[in-house]
Chain A
Amino acid sequence: MANPLEITDLVYKKNQKKIITDLNLTLKPGKIVALLGENGAGKTTLMRIISGVAKNYQGTVKVAGFAKESERKDHLSFTDGLTGFSHSVKVNEIVKFYQILYHDFSLKQFEQLRKFMNLDSDLRLSEMSKGMKEKLIIALTFSRKTDLYLLDEPFSGIDAMARKKIIKSIILWKQEKSTILISDHFVNEIAAVLDEVVIIKNKTICMQKSTEEIRADNQTVEDFYESFYQREEEE
């Protein structure tokens, strides 16, 4: 089986400024991985490149062995902000959209997730709080059956209860072989569910390490992560 994600020598520029440079990253099947970095470190950009919505980069990106953009999109599920829908649209209309356009979308799975998240299917987007919307996005993302799940800052700006629900749903609905990449600038709240952390700094990936290895060195994952950014402040 091909690795869910393989990136080699990735370079991405915008307005002649390098956003990502010489980035290499491989994720193995069945892992939950955090993509950590400061705001503006390029986490979202990296996820958009993997998903094939950011263009004109150099290097190769393979998702489950596929390099072509449309095939990559087919083998990954990305938390989209649902900006393609008007505010008056209801949950079940969004679900219909997903059902028609994603052949791997499972309505049964969505219904389970929706009930787990306590979401009403007659609710409109405009009536939702930030936490509810994020829960809906997670439910939609996990209702697809893919090799790679990209969760872009799913915990930013939501309350503790919603966060717990989302973390539990990650554990409950993750398939054995699929890999989940979660970006965040804060690791504490999810450290216990992670297999690995990937730290992005200075436009590239500076560290990839197993969380249990970090703990075996008597270090917390958070301290480990912060040490990379403290070093920079000292320099």
Chain B
Amino acid sequence: MGVLQPKDGGHVEFKDNIPIYLQIKQYLYRQIITGKLKPGKKIPSVRELAVQLTVNVNTVQRALQQMNFEGILYTKRGEGNFVTEDTTLLDKTKRELINAELDKFVHSMNSLGVSDEQILKSLSEYLKKERE
């Protein structure tokens, strides 16, 4: 992904050549997976999110609608949007996010001419060095 660069104070910069509603979704997925938005808890209102992210209210609405449709959020009438408590769905989302990141990583490695085996090798070497 790498689209979102959270800065100090939770400020987020969006890329202007990717639909913003997609970037808002990515942002919220991350918030949920990293536990900043907890399962079963209410997420900020549409307007709050719009102000916080400095984006259009309609765009936030579109992102939340899709997430509602996917089931990761659910709406209580008159109360707002809540994060699902369905752990299998949350796990699935997390896996998808990881896969997407890996996908991108592998793609860029391949484009550098690095083979799959080499990727595995250099990754484990890299991690060993980093952890020391």
Of A171, A176, A215, which is within 8 A of B16 by CB?
A215
Least CB separation from A30: chain B residue: B58
Instruction: Flag if A215 contacts B19 (CB, 8 Å).
Output: yes
Closest Cβ of chain A to B57, distance in Å, is 7
| Cα–Cα, bound, A9→B101 (Å) | 51
Instruction: Flag if A192 contacts B19 (CB, 8 Å).
Output: no
Interface size of A by CB at 8 A reads 26
Closest Cβ of chain A to B85, distance in Å, is 30
Instruction: Flag if B18 contacts A193 (CB, 8 Å).
Output: no
Interface presence of B56 (CB below 8 A): yes
Closest Cβ of chain B to A20, distance in Å, is 28
Least CB separation from B55: chain A residue: A192
Closest Cβ of chain B to A175, distance in Å, is 10
Instruction: Flag if A219 contacts B58 (CB, 8 Å).
Output: no
Known: A192-B14, A215-B16. A172 touches B51 (CB 8 A): yes
Instruction: Flag if B19 contacts A216 (CB, 8 Å).
Output: yes
Instruction: Flag if A218 contacts B56 (CB, 8 Å).
Output: no
Instruction: Flag if A193 contacts B51 (CB, 8 Å).
Output: no
Give the interface size bracket for B toward A.
10 to 19
Instruction: Flag if B51 contacts A212 (CB, 8 Å).
Output: no
Instruction: Flag if B47 contacts A171 (CB, 8 Å).
Output: yes
Instruction: Flag if B54 contacts A193 (CB, 8 Å).
Output: yes
| Cα–Cα, bound, A195→B55 (Å) | 10
Binding site for A on B (CB under 8 A): 14-21, 47, 50-51, 53-59, 62
**27 chain-A/chain-B pairs, Cβ below 8 angstroms:** A167-B54, A171-B50, A171-B55, A171-B56, A171-B57, A172-B51, A188-B16, A191-B16, A192-B14, A192-B16, A192-B20, A192-B53, A192-B56, A193-B54, A193-B56, A195-B59, A211-B20, A212-B21, A212-B59, A215-B17, A215-B19, A215-B20, A218-B18, A219-B17, A220-B16, A220-B17, A223-B17
